[in-house]
Amino acid sequence: MGPDRARAWYVISLRPQGTHAALRQAAARCGAGLIALSPWKLVARDDADARDQLRQALQADVVLFTSPAAVRFAAAMQPLAMRAHQAWIATGSGTRAALGRHGIEAAIAPARMDSEGLLALPALSDLARRSVGLVTAPDGRGLLAPALQARGARLHLAQIYLRQPLPVSATGLQRLRELEAPAWVALTSAGALRQVQQQLAADAQRTLLIHPAVAASARLMEAATDAGFARVVQAQGPRPAQLLSAAKALFSPGFR
């Protein structure tokens, strides 16, 4: 089992390749290990069309970033600067923090970090005759674009990065099959779960589904149940501390 052999329990992470560090560190502080089953990696769309999409999105009345990755890739393409009378919105506290690192201190984010919580923000309640720049990836936050347009927004979609599919790590699958300690699946993306399940053989799928899932939203709870997880608990959001807090219900008092 490698360096995590002595861990008392494990987090199974489906995050993109190279983005497990924060969850790994948070788990380690609780005495846990992490098994990475990345179904894709994030790749910039640094072409003329993407740059033009981003330029138009950043000039909109409302600028909405769907992830820290969207902020990171946007800032690599051009400097981020908030104009007077604009509203900049992040889907959650992690995305808002990413904007802050690039000088956008006045961005707002919902307390409930999912599409429904985002759409409940007053800044998105009346969008008639207003332009909205949505900075995202293809298929990211699928509910948002039609919901914003239904509210009258003139939508400028900037799809500036891609989720490039990857084969699930053979090492990760071996660790999953050999796992004897308690474990749970951190679920922050229904798409990632589908992508992983499509790659797993029947025995590996059964092994994954016997572990409980911690879902970052009510929508993801439904996705986990539909996928076949026998036990699902809901976290307050997708951040590592929120996932770990919800996971406390899954284990004995020995969970720290």
Per residue of the chain (256 residues), give pLDDT as tens: 444 455 789 999 999 999 999 999 999 998 899 999 999 999 999 899 999 999 999 999 999 999 999 999 999 999 999 999 999 999 988 899 999 999 999 999 998 877 788 889 999 988 998 999 999 998 765 678 899 999 999 999 999 999 999 999 999 999 999 998 899 999 999 999 999 999 999 999 999 999 999 999 888 999 999 999 989 999 988 889 999 999 987 765 455 5
Structure token pair of residue 32: 């846990």
Q: State the pairing for strand pair 33-36/154-159.
A: unpaired
Q: Hey, which residues does 63 pair with through a beta bridge?
A: 88, 133
Structure token pair of residue 107: 């961005």
DSSP string, 210-247: TS-EEESSHHHHHHHHHHT-S-EEE-SSSSHHHHHHHH
Residues 6+ apart with CB under 8 A from 144: 64, 66, 115, 118, 119, 134, 136
Half-sphere exposure of 209 (CA within 13 A, CB side): 18
Query: Hey, how many other C-beta atoms are within 10 angstroms of the C-beta on 84?
Result: 4
Q: Comparing C-alpha atoms, which of 70, 59, 71, 50 is closest to residue 154?
A: 59
